[in-house]
Amino acid sequence: MRKLKRSPASRSPAQSPAARITATIIEKLEQGTKPWIKPWRGVPISRPLRSCGTPYRGMNTFWLWMMAEASGFASPYWMTYRQCAKLGGHVRKGEKSSIAIFYKTYEKEVETPDGGEDTETRRVLRSYAIFNADQCDDLPAMYSPEPLMEPVEPAGRRRRIDAFFARIDAQLRHTGSEAYYEPVLDRITMPPTTLFEGFDHYYATLAHELSHWTGHSSRLDRDLKNRFGSEAYAAEELVAELSSAILGAELGLPVTHLDNHASYISHWLKLLKSDDRAMLTAAAKAEEASSLLLRLGGHDERSDPEFGDDLAEAA
């Protein structure tokens, strides 16, 4: 599960559609993910659909599956800005478009070897901007799929911890099946609580993403502009893991949730072997991150009744 995410839609506009799509697929494969496998999340299985209901074909099928997964979209429908307006809806302010690709055919006059002229038919790849129905408001009900089953909230919800996280003024949305922080948008995305086995796991994951959130330039100003697999990425992931472990200890959450994905462990080992001070640096930054979150969340372990009177007396 990726924790820091930069949307492919934010890549350089100079990239050709083919280069943009290929770069995204390579990035996914480097993370050990098969981007053409669609992880259906309790909604009807479907190919990506145009606003009229016609399925997209070819690379658009896999590309739009990837875009839907990256952004947490459940609707299979995609449309242009004008198509949305014609349906009586509107694209929400601040939403970023994806692209669909097509080949444009044209005729070109060319010179033949004998000095004459001939006409060649050529094709060039083009793209246009589209939005998922989940990015739009006031569309007809058919554009929002009904869930296949009623979601069930997991056990373990705690009002005190809910209140702690609610006091932290972070932009947070619940959608899709991935948890990640987007530095450019300064936004955290979390899966719905119903996708977690228990609220302790949900809280621990949220603590991790909030730890990334503390690194924004307006807060602790850590280096968040890094690529998956780089030393800077591994270092930031280590900071977030250690910070969330500290938060878990302070809030009474399990600290066994550290991400043990093989790729992360490999990157951390590489980092620690190349820099014997990396762990000390990460721990110091994690302390800063967790301290900021504990302060913003209004947590004071000395006066928290769930920790007992003995802490106050010992102080």
- Residue 218 located in a structural domain: yes
Query: Does 154 reside within a domain?
Result: no
Quick one: pLDDT at residue 31?
A: 66
**Cα dihedral sign, 150-65-132-58:** negative
Radius of gyration for the chain, computed over Cα atoms and rounded to the nearest angstrom: 24
Q: Which of 87, 117, 143 is the last residue of a domain?
A: 143
Q: Report in angstroms the alpha-carbon separations of 105 from 14, 58, 123.
A: 22, 17, 4
Structurally, the chain folds into a number of domains equal to 2
Residue 7, pLDDT score: 44
Range of the domain at 47: 9-143
Paired tokens of 251? 């809030």
pLDDT for position 303: 45
Locate 88 and state its tokens. 């009586």
- Residue 32 pLDDT: 61
Residue-level pLDDT at 101:
92
Same domain for 99 and 177?
no
What is residue 92's DSSP assignment?
Answer: P
Of the three residues 87, 109, 143, the one that is the final residue of a domain is 143
pLDDT at position 121 is 82
Rounded CA-CA distance 122/135 in Å is 35
Q: Which residues of the chain have pLDDT under 50?
A: 1-2, 6-12, 257-262, 301-315
> Residue 150: inside a domain, yes or no?
no
Same domain, 182 and 301: yes
Tokens of 313: 């007396």
Domain match, 134 and 164 both: no
Establish if 183 belongs to a structural domain: yes
Q: What is the pLDDT of residue 177?
A: 74
Q: Kindly report the CA angle at 173 between 168 and 174, in degrees rounded to 5?
A: 120
Secondary structure (DSSP) of 146-183: PPSS---PPS---HHHHHHHHTS--EEEE-SS--EEET
b or e along 250-282 (b: 16 or more beta carbons within 10 Å of the residue's beta carbon)?
bbebeeebbbeeeebeebbeebbeeeeebeeeb
Domain assignment present for 211: yes
Are 139 and 163 in a shared domain? Answer: no
